Structure 1
Amino acid sequence: MYSRLLVTTDGSDLSAKALQAAIDLATAMRAELVVLHVVPLYPTSYFEGAIAYEHGEIARIERQWGEQGQALVDQAAAQADAAGVKARGVILRSDLVADSVIAAATKYECDLVVMASHGRRGIGRVLLGSETLHVLTHSTVPVLVLR
């Protein structure tokens, strides 16, 4: 039914559960897995709440975030490989997480997106928004949301 799944990871316990569920589903479907982590860009404007750093320091911070993200997807891909699932790790750099997930699902020709929901409710959801909800409502690829 599915031949390539995209699973997002941010290193949280919930995303680890989503990863395991995606590996299990990929095993059952004999599907490939694309593991995605979106690395945020360092905020550069005062209104984004950033402390004023020199350009070199910002580049160092973004490089560190990228290396941490790469370690996440490498570990996830290794976990999938150990389960017999062909996997690849993908890093995207963007402040638009949901749009990046949707774009990656299209680019890598995935036929299912697997994501964790952090389960925010009430005012917290309204104020913080939901990347998962945005993907769920804007993706043309089916989305499996796990809690």
Structure 2
Amino acid sequence: MYKRILVATDGSKLSKMAVDHAINLADITGAEVVALKVVPRYPQTYFEGGVALAANEIARIEKQWHDEAMATVTAVKSAGQLREVKVKPITVKSDLIAEAVIAAAKRNKCDLIVMASHGRRGLKRLLLGSETQQVLTHSHIPVLVLR
């Protein structure tokens, strides 16, 4: 049925549920899992009164974020090994999370994307946005959303 499943995670309790479901589904179908964590770039501020950091400090912060992201996806790999499911841990640096998820799924030839959603509605959804909603509306690959 599925050959390669991409699971997007941020390490939160909610995304761990998506990870568990992706690993279970991969175990049942004999699929591989691609564990993805999107790492944002350090925001640059150009507003008056904003404090600009030195380039080496920004690089240190971004490296820390990358290392934390690798720890998150490596934990998914460890969880997969317990179920004898092959997991490929990857991180991507991007400010556009939904686009990065879709691009990673295409690049890794995934045939399913698994994500979690907070299920926000109304004004909260409008103000906070939803990366899951963006993936749902723009992906040509099937998306499994867990709440």
TM range (shorter): over 0.9
Deviation for aligned residue 1:82: 1.3
2:43 is paired with a residue whose SS is: coil
Matched, 1:34 2:34: yes
Match of 1:97 in 2: 97
1:10-49 correspondence to structure 2 within 5 Å: 10-46=10-46
CA distance in structure 1 between the aligned counterparts of 2:121 and 2:21, rounded to whole angstroms: 23
Structure 2, gaps ≥5 residues long: none
Deviation for aligned residue 1:51: 3.9
1:57-136 correspondence to structure 2 within 5 Å: 57-136=57-136
1:20 is paired with a residue whose SS is: helix
Structure 1, gaps ≥5 residues long: none
Deviation for aligned residue 1:20: 0.1
Query: Which ranges of 4 or more aligned residues in structure 1 deviate by more than 2 Å?
Result: none
CA distance in structure 1 between the aligned counterparts of 2:36 and 2:127, rounded to whole angstroms: 25
1:59 is paired with a residue whose SS is: helix
Give the percent of matched residue pairs that are identical in Structure 1 and Structure 2: 54
Q: How many residues align?
A: 145
Q: Report the RMSD for the aligned CA atoms in angstroms.
A: 1.0
CA distance in structure 2 between the aligned counterparts of 1:141 and 1:23, rounded to whole angstroms: 18
TM-score w.r.t. length of structure 1: 0.96
TM-score w.r.t. length of structure 2: 0.96
Map Cα deviations across residues 35-61 of structure 1 (whole Å, 9 max, x no partner).
Answer: 0000000001235xx742111111100
CA distance in structure 2 between the aligned counterparts of 1:46 and 1:116, rounded to whole angstroms: 34
